[in-house]
């Protein structure tokens, strides 16, 4: 069994991980159909600008636990062979987890991560914007309460599932972060997991003729096939 996806999101007092604090954290485990959602007491006033964006006020978090406690609960929720997935993760959410863990003397597990914003920019470069709410509209997902953590997680899960179709989490990580983006095995369909050279030629030709290889998300696959002369 591959890595279990955990879709997550944080709401914060601002955009600087070393200075600002997490005020809400939410996650969804689609394999076990479990959710996690907790307010976090940031132990500092929430700026008015942040409250206007998130809808979260000092009153709402005053009785919440600190990240020292919530962080432990969140890491426990993410136990096992998992990958953490967030929109703008590599520039935002991950760094808040890192700084909050340091600040509260918690050991942050060595999670692998997927940044869905990076994926969207790389494989949907036909789109003019890549915000989560814009992608929600493009993929026809029903609108909900944007900028609240669990609602954003729900949208992210639905959008990203449509974006990657039947790719495994390992294949997504490989496509997103490997520098050469070389694909050695068929990533989807009835021949998924089979080395490209062993996939029947008639299937590869059918795939090319169907237009599937012209999709932005299959750019690396098409390039790998061409390098091996499999489309000749």
Which domain CATH number covers 53?
A: 3.30.420.10
The answer for residues whose C-beta is within 8 angstroms of residue 5's C-beta and 6 or more apart is: 29, 30, 31, 82, 83, 85, 114, 169
Domain membership of residue 201 as a residue range? 178-227
Q: Do residues 141 and 187 both lie within one domain?
A: no
Identify the residue whose tokens are 């003397």: 105
Q: Do residues 100 and 151 both lie within one domain?
A: yes
% of the chain beyond a pLDDT of 90 = 65
Does the predicted TM-score (pTM) go above 0.85? no
Confidence of residue 3 (pLDDT cuts 50, 70, 90): very high
Give the residue, 191 or 99, on which the prediction is more confident.
Answer: 99
147 given a catalytic annotation: yes
Enclosing H/E stretch for 113 = strand 113-115
Is 157 part of any domain? yes
Task: Show the tokens assigned to 27.
Answer: 């996650």
Q: Do residues 109 and 188 both lie within one domain?
A: no
CA-CA-CA-CA torsion sign (217, 207, 31, 178): negative
Task: Identify the active-site residue in 87, 130, 147, 191.
Answer: 147
Number of domains forming the structure of the chain: 2
Q: Do residues 206 and 97 both lie within one domain?
A: no
Q: How far apart are the C-alpha atoms of 203 and 200, rounded to whole Å?
A: 5
């Amino acid at each position: 069994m591959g890595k279990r996806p955990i879709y997550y999101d944080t709401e914060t007092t601002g955009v600087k991980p070393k200075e600002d604090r997490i005020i809400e954290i939410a996650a969804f485990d689609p394999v076990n159909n479990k959710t996690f959602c907790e307010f976090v007491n940031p132990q500092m006033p929430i700026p008015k600008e942040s409250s206007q964006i998130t809808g979260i006020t000092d009153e709402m978090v005053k009785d919440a636990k600190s990240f020292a406690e919530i962080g432990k609960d969140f890491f426990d929720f993410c136990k096992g062979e998992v990958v953490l997935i967030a929109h703008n993760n590599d520039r935002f959410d991950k760094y808040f987890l890192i700084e909050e863990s340091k600040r509260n003397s918690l050991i942050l597990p060595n999670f692998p991560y997927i940044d869905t914003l990076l994926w969207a920019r790389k494989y949907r470069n036909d789109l003019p914007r890549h915000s989560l709410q814009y992608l929600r509209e493009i993929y026809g997902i029903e609108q909900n309460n944007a900028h609240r953590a669990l609602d954003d997680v729900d949208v992210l899960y639905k959008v990203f599932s449509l974006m990657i179709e039947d790719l495994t989490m390992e294949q997504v990580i490989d496509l997103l972060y490997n520098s050469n983006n070389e694909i050695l095995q068929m990533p989807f369909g009835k021949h998924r997991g089979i080395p490209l050279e062993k996939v029947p030629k008639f299937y590869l030709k059918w795939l090319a003729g169907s237009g599937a290889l012209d999709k932005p998300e299959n750019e690396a696959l098409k390039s790998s096939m061409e390098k091996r002369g499999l489309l000749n």
